[in-house]
Structure 1
Amino acid sequence: MHRREHLTTAANPDARHDYLVELRGEPVPGTRLTLRYVPDRSVATPDGIAAYLGALADTTAETGPEALAIAVLDDLNNELIPRWVEVTVERSRPVPHRVVVEDRQPSWDNPPLFARMRRV
């Protein structure tokens, strides 16, 4: 089973509103992954994210943080199709290393939501 197939979704309970979803996990010890997104029609299921993190273990071992962040971004864009998404990958060894990638649908913007996110 390809890692992307683990990303299961459910219908967005209210697609009229923009809201932020944040999920965190550790696909392998020492690698932290944070997913933040604004859903469109679908939301990620917690069980699907947990299974996906487990499936990322092979990818994580073979790639650097940059490649991992981009792979996760591509997977989320293909399976979830969020209005906006940000993927952060952090490792503390051999030196602190943090990669952040982001994408959004071309016509989507919500400056008040972004302003609140920056304060958190």
Structure 2
Amino acid sequence: MNSDTPQPAYLNSETVRSRRALINCRTSPATGHDYLVDLKVKLQAHDRSSPYHLTIRYVPDRDLLDDQEMREYWRFIEAAEWPSLPALAISVLEDLNNEMIPRWLQVQLRDPLTSDYQEGSMVTIEDKQPGWHNQQMLARISPVTF
């Protein structure tokens, strides 16, 4: 990015810090085991008539998301202006990776809005810790569908 080009608000370091401070975690009850956690969230952006559908799937390491305490984070996400579906999905992935540090994380964001030609859109992004390999577990996870 050119140094003269203003940084988008969602990438501003202060905004990122404020957003990430709203992520609440708790200690995993079974740090010695790999297990899958699924979380589904509806995000009602301020400028949209229908919500985004967000699915978060992760294999925790030391911490779990405290789903009941994530409301303020989701509200922050809803109130922000996002230039694209990928920008939002990548930001959620990076935020959760930074705060929770899961072994494996997948963020799937679906926009059900349709138009004359489009029947919605979806972004799926995932990441894992270096050195973590549990191919048997990943093979059993249902595939991404739209």
Scaled by the length of structure 1, what TM-score is found? 0.90
**What stretches of structure 1 of length at least 5 have no aligned partner?**
none
1:26 partner amino acid: K
Alignment of 1:62-81 (within 5 A): 62-81=82-101
Per chain length, whose mean CA-contact separation is higher, i.e. which structure has more relative contact order (CA < 8 Å, sep 6+)? 1
Alignment of 1:13-24 (within 5 A): 13-24=29-40
Number of residues of Structure 1 aligned to a counterpart in Structure 2: 119
Segments of 4+ moved more than 4 angstroms: none
Q: CA deviation at 1:62?
A: 2.8
Counterpart position of 2:127: 103
* Residues 1:40 and 2:56 are matched in the alignment: no
Q: CA deviation at 1:27?
A: 1.6
Structure with the higher fraction of residues in helix conformation: 1
Counterpart position of 2:21: 5
**What stretches of structure 2 of length at least 5 have no aligned partner?**
1-14, 45-49
SS at match of 1:88: strand
Q: CA deviation at 1:119?
A: 6.6
Q: Which has the higher Rg, Structure 1 or Structure 2?
A: 2
SS at match of 2:113: coil
What percent identity do the matched residue pairs reach?
Answer: 37
1:87 partner amino acid: V
Counterpart position of 2:140: 116
Structure 2 Cα separation of the partners of residues 64 and 58 of structure 1: 14
RMSD: 1.8
Structure 2 Cα separation of the partners of residues 119 and 72 of structure 1: 20
1:64 partner amino acid: S
Structure 2 Cα separation of the partners of residues 12 and 33 of structure 1: 22
Q: CA deviation at 1:52?
A: 1.7
Structure 1 Cα separation of the partners of residues 34 and 107 of structure 2: 18
Structure 2 Cα separation of the partners of residues 48 and 82 of structure 1: 18
Scaled by the length of structure 2, what TM-score is found? 0.75
